[in-house]
C-alpha cells in the first residue's frame, strides 16, 4: 500500500528479543557480511508471523511525512537528550550501558559501529572493535553531521541514528507491475492491477501492490495483495480480501464496507470512464493492536508501479546524499 502503511512504532524483533540479544546478533551479522540486509522471503515461524502481522496492522494507523524517518527526529536531534528521551529510549540507554560493561559484547558492538562509520565515509578502519581515538573522532564528526550532540560517545540516540541510516542504504526497492485496467467486459467482470498510494505519494515503510478481480454475477471483488514491509527486516506478506459489491451500474462499482483487517474499514470504488480505482479507509481506535491508532479517513488509489519505483528511487538517493560524508 505504499502509504497504506506508515507507522513509526513497533519493531518486530523488539517484541521477541531483549535489546542486548538483538544488538549482539545484529552486529555479529554485520561483521560477517558487512551488511544488515535480512532475507526478505525467509520462512517465518508462527510467532514471528503474528508479530509481523501486528506490525502491518499498526502501520496502517498513522499518516506520515514522506521524508520523515521512523524514529522520533525531535528526540534524536535534541541538544538536551536526557530531557527528551522516551521511556523506550531510557531503557535502551540502560541496556546499552550494560553492553558497555561487557568487554566481549562491546567489542562486537564497536566493530559494527566502525563498519557503519566507514560505510558512511568517515574513514574508520581497520575494523578492530576497539573504541579508540580514531573511532571517537569519527563518531564526533558523524554526530555533528546529523545534528546530534557532539560528544564522541556511543549513546542510545547515536546508535539508533547509525542503524536507521544504515537501513536507508540497505532499503530494497522492488520493481512493481504496471497499472492495468481491463474493463472491456464491464457488464460481466473487471480486472485491475496496480500499487496503492495516497495523494501525498507512496512511503517506503511498506509497498503494497494488488490485483483486483470483480464479478458482477457473484457480486464480489477479490483483492490479492503482496506487501513488502521494509521498515525493519524486509518481509513479504501476501493476503486476499473479498469485498461484497453494493452497487454496479454502467458508470461505477462500489463495494460494501469491508472490515476484514484490524482497525480498518474500507470501501472500494471503480470508475469505468476514467479507469480508476480508489479505496476509502477509516482507521479506528480500539483495544490491543488498535490502541495506538490515529483515527482518520484516508483515500488511496491504484497507480502505476514503475512510477512508484522511480519515486522511491529518487527519495532514497536524496536520503543517501544526506547520510554520506563525501570529501571534495
Residues 106 and 166 in one domain: yes
Distance CA 118, CA 34 (A): 11
Residues 307 and 265 in one domain: yes
Nearest to 247 by CA among 221, 281, 278, 213: 221
Residues 14 and 159 in one domain: yes
Is residue 1, in this structure, part of any structural domain at all?
A: no
Residues 111 and 204 in one domain: no
Residues 165 and 231 in one domain: no
Residues 209 and 162 in one domain: no
Is residue 322, in this structure, part of any structural domain at all?
A: no
Residues 238 and 194 in one domain: yes
Q: How far is CA 91 from the centre of its chain?
A: 23
Q: What is the pLDDT of residue 179?
A: 97
Is residue 321, in this structure, part of any structural domain at all?
A: no
Of 134, 151, 170, the residue at which a domain comes to its end is 170
Domain count, the chain: 2
Rounded to whole angstroms, what are the CA distances from 199 to 37, 244, 298?
30, 26, 9
Residue 196 phi/psi, 5-degree rounding, is -80, 140
Please give the full DSSP string across 155-200, using - where no structure is assigned. -HHHHHHHHHHHHHHH---PPPPPPEEE-TTTTTEEEEEEEEEETT
Residues 156 and 189 in one domain: no
For 291-319, give one letter per residue: b (16+ CB within 10 A) or e.
eebeeeebebbbbbbebbbebbeebbeeb
Is residue 107, in this structure, part of any structural domain at all?
A: yes
Residues 198 and 299 in one domain: yes
Angle between helices 156-170 and 87-100 (to 10 degrees): 100
Q: Which domain holds residue 14?
A: 7-170
Distance CA 54, CA 48 (A): 10
Q: What is the pLDDT of residue 151?
A: 93
Is residue 328, in this structure, part of any structural domain at all?
A: no
Q: What is the pLDDT of residue 71?
A: 37
Residues 119 and 33 in one domain: yes
Residues 18 and 124 in one domain: yes
Q: What is the pLDDT of residue 201?
A: 60
Of 170, 198, 223, the residue at which a domain comes to its end is 170
Facing residues of 224 across strands? 211, 240
Residues 154 and 199 in one domain: no
Mean pLDDT by 10 residues, the chain (328 residues): 39 39 44 33 34 42 37 41 68 90 93 93 86 93 93 93 90 89 96 88 73 97 89 80 97 95 93 95 88 88 92 90 82
Is residue 2, in this structure, part of any structural domain at all?
A: no
- CATH code, domain with 290: 2.40.160
270 close to 277: Cβ distance less than 8 angstroms? yes
Is residue 199, in this structure, part of any structural domain at all?
A: yes
Amino acid at each position: 500500500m505504499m502509504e497504506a502503511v506508515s507507522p513509526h512504532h513497533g519493531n518486530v524483533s523488539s517484541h521477541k528479543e531483549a535489546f542486548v540479544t538483538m544488538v549482539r546478533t545484529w552486529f555479529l551479522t554485520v561483521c560477517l557480511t558487512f551488511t544488515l540486509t535480512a532475507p526478505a522471503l525467509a520462512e517465518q515461524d508462527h510467532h514471528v508471523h503474528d508479530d509481523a502481522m501486528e506490525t502491518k496492522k499498526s502501520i496502517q494507523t498513522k499518516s506520515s511525512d514522506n521524508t520523515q524517518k521512523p524514529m522520533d527526529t525531535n528526540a534524536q536531534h535534541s541538544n538536551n537528550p536526557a530531557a527528551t528521551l522516551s521511556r523506550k529510549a531510557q531503557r535502551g540507554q540502560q541496556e546499552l550501558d550494560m553492553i558497555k560493561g561487557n568487554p566481549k559484547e562491546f567489542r562486537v558492538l564497536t566493530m559494527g559501529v566502525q563498519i557503519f562509520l566507514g560505510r558512511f565515509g568517515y574513514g574508520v578502519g581497520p575494523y578492530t572493535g576497539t573504541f579508540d581515538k580514531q573511532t571517537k573522532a569519527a563518531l564526533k564528526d558523524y554526530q555533528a553531521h546529523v545534528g546530534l550532540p557532539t560528544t564522541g560517545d556511543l549513546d542510545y540516540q547515536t546508535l539508533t541514528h547509525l542503524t536507521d541510516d544504515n537501513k536507508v542504504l540497505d532499503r530494497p526497492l522492488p520493481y512493481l507491475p504496471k497499472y492495468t485496467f481491463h474493463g472491456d467486459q464491464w457488464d460481466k467482470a473487471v480486472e485491475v492491477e496496480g500499487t496503492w498510494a495516497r495523494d501525498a505519494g507512496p512511503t517506503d515503510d511498506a509497498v503494497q501492490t494488488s490485483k483486483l478481480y470483480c464479478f458482477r454475477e457473484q457480486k464480489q471483488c477479490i483483492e490479492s495483495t503482496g506487501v513488502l514491509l521494509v521498515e525493519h527486516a524486509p518481509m513479504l506478506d501476501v493476503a486476499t480480501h473479498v469485498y461484497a459489491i453494493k452497487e454496479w451500474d454502467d458508470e461505477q462499482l462500489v463495494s460494501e464496507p469491508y472490515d476484514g483487517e484490524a482497525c480498518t474499514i474500507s470501501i472500494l470504488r471503480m470508475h469505468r470512464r476514467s479507469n480508476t480505482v480508489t479505496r476509502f479507509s477509516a482507521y479506528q481506535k480500539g483495544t490491543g493492536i488498535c490502541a495506538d491508532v490515529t483515527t482518520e479517513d484516508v483515500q488511496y488509489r491504484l497507480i502505476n508501479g514503475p512510477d512508484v519505483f522511480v519515486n522511491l528511487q529518487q527519495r532514497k538517493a536524496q536520503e543517501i546524499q544526506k547520510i554520506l560524508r563525501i570529501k571534495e
